[in-house]
Amino acid sequence: MNTLTEENINFIYQDVQLKGLSLDSLLDEMVDHICCSIELKMENGISFQTAYNNLMDTIESSTFQNLQHQTLLSTNLKFQNMKKSMVVLGTLSAFFMTAGSILKFFHLPPAAALLLLGTVIAVFGFFPLFFYTSNKESLEKKNVLISIIGYLTITFIMIGVLFRVNHWPGAEKLLLIGELLLLLLFLPLYLANAYKKANEVKTNFAYVLLLVLIGIGIISMWSVTRIPREVVEKFDAINNSAINVSQIFERQNDSILKILQTKESFTESRPNIEEIKTLGATLENQINAIKNELKEITKSNSVDNINNKENHTAFRKSMLKDNNANKLKEGFANYKAAVLEMVENEYQKETLSALLDFEMFTELKYERGFKSTSLIEGMAMLSGMQRNINIAEYEVLSTIK
């Protein structure tokens, strides 16, 4: 039976130490394991040097260093507590965000708080620990800049999504910053780093590139499709309905006015009617100007067939241009005051007041600068305003005898 000599064992000790293993307890255990493996091969008539070389060929050059590094980390109480904290924080974050998303789907109040809590835990707890421990566990020196940019990218995208889900201002800017960081900094640096190491590690660079391209495709798809198709179709139907109803009442008002002009009593109410007609026409002109602005922004052929209905910036631009939103609000207030002045019935006043409530159309969108308002949603809003202007005029003309 072939056994290892003292000289063979000393050679193994020295060689393993040269390969990066210096921790005494681990060194003894590893040398003992190597000795057992070599003795088994030597029993088959293989020489010590051949058996040792064959064994070393099956082990990566950095294996001993990595093994020692991981052993030291496993005995580092502070590092292990960090990893445990990371797992706990990651679990809590995932739970709160999942629960918040479910509650948000059912429009239940705690949703926003849970989503906020889950995001805060992920951004300020889980991800910092994840990037720190990942870098610490890697024996080779990593590019810290990639980790920092990766962290910032995830942070901006997550917070941007949170803001957008809760309709808070600043969502689009946060998402844009996150997307720019991802496309212009993180991906180029990551690809360059992966390409450098493609020959050093057993990683297929083509697979990495494919995953990156799929990620870009997902982001592009997300950027283009801002709202679900069924929501677009819903607001499109509301917009078309409002336009049709508006045209019906506009024709009806013209018919009533022609009849009133044949009556002697018309002379008395004529100034007020003309004021309402003028204010109403001015208000509709303002609305049509905004619609034409949307047509120009989206490069559409007509106002009736606007392109890119999912667009989340066009409506905001048109409302903020030339102070359009404030002019529209002021125009509504003037028209509403003139209309209410012409009716005496309290019930009718309440009806007209509700019809011409600017805040009813805009909700919180006006105060938020119409951020995150899709183009088709804005079009439906404007058409609804025109419809109610014509209905209000009809209500007033119908009361004149």
Tens digit of each residue's pLDDT (9 = 90 or more) over 29-46: 777 888 888 888 887 778
* Among 224, 243, 263, residue at a domain's last position: 224
Instruction: Verify that 288 and 374 share a domain, yes or no.
Output: yes
d(CA 12, CA 3): 14
Instruction: Verify that 382 and 247 share a domain, yes or no.
Output: yes
Indicate whether 175 pLDDT > 70. yes
Instruction: Evaluate whether residue 82 is within a structural domain.
Output: no
Q: How many domains does the chain have?
A: 3
Instruction: Verify that 264 and 202 share a domain, yes or no.
Output: no
Backbone angles phi, psi at 73, to 5 degrees: -65, -35
Q: What is the share, in percent, of the chain residues with pLDDT greater than 90?
A: 10
- Mean pLDDT check: name the lowest of 6-10, 66-70, 313-317, 355-359: 66-70
Indicate whether 214 pLDDT > 60. no
d(CA 192, CA 198): 10
Instruction: Evaluate whether residue 85 is within a structural domain.
Output: no
Instruction: Verify that 247 and 295 share a domain, yes or no.
Output: yes
245 HSE (CA, 13 A, CB side): 18
Instruction: Verify that 313 and 261 share a domain, yes or no.
Output: yes
Instruction: Verify that 150 and 43 share a domain, yes or no.
Output: no
Which residue would you say has higher pLDDT here, 87 or 223?
Answer: 87
Q: Average pLDDT in the 177-188 region?
A: 87
Instruction: Evaluate whether residue 78 is within a structural domain.
Output: no
Instruction: Verify that 123 and 27 share a domain, yes or no.
Output: no
Instruction: Evaluate whether residue 88 is within a structural domain.
Output: no
pLDDT at 341: 87
Instruction: Verify that 245 and 193 share a domain, yes or no.
Output: no
Tens digit of each residue's pLDDT (9 = 90 or more) over 242-298: 999 999 999 999 998 888 888 877 788 888 888 888 888 999 999 998 888 888 877
CA 359 to chain centre: 28
Instruction: Verify that 268 and 380 share a domain, yes or no.
Output: yes
Instruction: Evaluate whether residue 269 is within a structural domain.
Output: yes
- Band (pLDDT 50/70/90 cuts) for residue 207 is very low
Considering the chain, what is the average pLDDT of its residues?
80
| Residues whose CB falls within 8 Å of the CB of residue 175, separated by 6 or more in sequence, listed in order | 156, 157, 160, 161, 164
Instruction: Verify that 292 and 330 share a domain, yes or no.
Output: yes
Instruction: Verify that 268 and 368 share a domain, yes or no.
Output: yes
Tens digit of each residue's pLDDT (9 = 90 or more) over 144-156: 888 889 889 989 9
Instruction: Evaluate whether residue 143 is within a structural domain.
Output: yes
Query: 34 is in which domain, residue-wise?
Result: 6-69
* Among 171, 193, 224, residue at a domain's last position: 224
Instruction: Evaluate whether residue 309 is within a structural domain.
Output: yes
Instruction: Verify that 110 and 216 share a domain, yes or no.
Output: yes
pLDDT at 212: 59
* Among 209, 224, 239, residue at a domain's last position: 224
pTM (2 d.p.):
0.51
Instruction: Evaluate whether residue 371 is within a structural domain.
Output: yes
Tens digit of each residue's pLDDT (9 = 90 or more) over 87-127: 889 889 888 888 888 887 776 778 888 889 988 998 999 88
pLDDT at 228: 63
Where does residue 289 rank: exposed (0-12), middle (13-18), buried (19+ CB within 10 A)? middle
